[in-house]
Amino acid sequence: MKNVRLYMIFQWIFFLPIILPLCLIFGALRGALQMAERVMQQMLIDVVPQHEAHPTID
Give pLDDT tens digits along the chain (58 positions): 567 789 999 999 999 999 999 999 999 999 999 999 999 999 998 888 777 666 666 6
Q: What whole-number distance in Å separates Cα of residue 39 and Cα of residue 47? A: 12
Amino acid sitting at position 47: V
Q: What whole-number distance in Å separates Cα of residue 29 and Cα of residue 27? A: 5
Q: What whole-number distance in Å separates Cα of residue 40 and Cα of residue 34? A: 10
- State residue 52's pLDDT score: 66
pTM of the model: 0.60
Q: 47, exposed or middle or buried, with CB in 10 Å at 0-12, 13-18, 19+?
A: exposed
